[in-house]
Structure 1
């Protein structure tokens, strides 16, 4: 049976903007459809952080217990449903099963049931600028930008959920020497440069070399042997595969406080695009799909303009067209990846329909991308 529930996501960060959890929002016609969609993703469920699971605009009911709730998952209970008999029945069963609960859309003064441990409390930061005695760690939602996050933290919030960190960042400036060095390295690899020249660049930054080898030897590559050096990596993998992993180095080079959340977003986009585009492109082009998604926030991560970045890099035309103009064969897949980052699933449903993609494939690709991005920051 074709699935009718789509998943979207957003990160949860603490006061220091470090990722502490992920939110998965299920957009389905009923709880049975949500259970079906969540159950289908058991194999790829993200395990590096706690996961808050929202059933969107549905009322949480005991039917949700038909899902084998993962150990790191907590069910969101909207404050507006606390008096609903079905939600009360679900809460009792969640407590008996030892499943955590997160109180969402809390407003100061809301009457709360006794005996429930609300570890996290999500509040609409636009309506409630202070946590107002929230019965757990308070998270602001709906923040417009970085400055709104700073104000929320100053007002007493313990963190936030959402995509505020993509907005209100510092204006563009010139590429830093350290970032320019990685761009130089990428260009050498893309142009099949001499191994000795590439090694010479890597030797100038030991931390860079270590990070590259760590990525290559991570679970994402699935190699049967450990790569010991760049020369060894070239002999085993070739230049094309290394280009993808050097691209990761550039994405993870920022020192901005918001960098972890932005890195997770960029890498998850890239891995999602690579996974969901598998039926449309060959292996080499799927690597370029990954790079398109991973580089989609590069200008924000490195504090420069996308145009100046691409002027320095020798990227394929289909990558550049998608990043600069939102055009070309990769653009619909980038738009699909970005639509996964909305609390409203309508944009994702429209993008999925345009590409004739089944919901299950999109849901799986999204969780694969999220797990991969989290694994690189673990």
Structure 2
């Protein structure tokens, strides 16, 4: 449920707080993480699910400036910061999600039987998105359309690819409601009446056959809080470097022991219903084995995405560039060698680490030496050699709008790179941009 209209009014009200109260709130925000949840009820008034909402502090209103950043923090806090059992109990959680995160591996951190992907109303449906939603639904996720308020061609096009439709009772014309509800029910979708604020609206929604209900008439969001876990960027980078070269359990265990906050979150993750183990994991080694290195890598990337120090992932132009570049390289590697997942993973990690020297304020050679990256990844970044090095040069050229195809056709290009025609490179670049967020403007001083 979009809360922007509530946020503005609440923010104006809170301007009257005095400086002392502001200072106390600021201190609490640095010590705790917060998460909002609002009940979703069935026709009998029983709790059916929660919508999980971003909260920057203990105040109960939204302050969302970046949808992907907010969702990443909601997921991080629900799974690792507070814990799924505490946040959801036995119920499902609806999570707002934008286009960029739909194409991000982070989505797979959420167990599909516990989380519903609530597609923001700003997301535009196209063939690429439809394919992605098909993949996610086949993986077990349910998809909800958020803030529906009118009959439209866009709604008709989106309905076949969704399971649940949330109709906004504050925005929908009452004359349109019966036909809108009938259309959605006629296609077998679950109907949720959201932003229900009066008894009359609740009665109307029941009469129109809505299945579930959410709004201030029933309950305002509750704010949950937990002590903030610090996830230092250098430790996460070292962990990702170990994962990039297939480090053994002993090395991973040793690195994780240096990062207690990451260990706490990892144990919460593996003890959640995401893995269905039916038993609690107590030791770090068991957690690594049960979670798997690919899932640990996803988690580490999420922590970087959601809480990376002075700048959040999407607010840091260097990390924006590294993220888009890494996805381009992964896609290009898969195009070059469709059956070689290890090569695609190595390409992704090459992109991730190709700008780390700038983030860490060092030189490429020195920064990568300290991280102990796999030799082929280090060689690709430092000297631009080999297949990974050529993929990196392609990614750099494509990202800067240069003639990447000429690199693929160059005399030093490895065998097979001739397949990267201008059309293929344009498609890869577009897919990479969609994965990390369309129309990202990168500015490096």
More helix per residue: 1 or 2? 2
Report the TM range for the smaller structure's normalisation: 0.3 to 0.5
**Which fold has the larger relative contact order, with Cα–Cα distance below 8 Å and residues 6 or more apart in sequence?**
1
- Structure with higher Rg: it is 2
Q: What TM-score results when the alignment is normalised by the length of structure 1?
A: 0.42
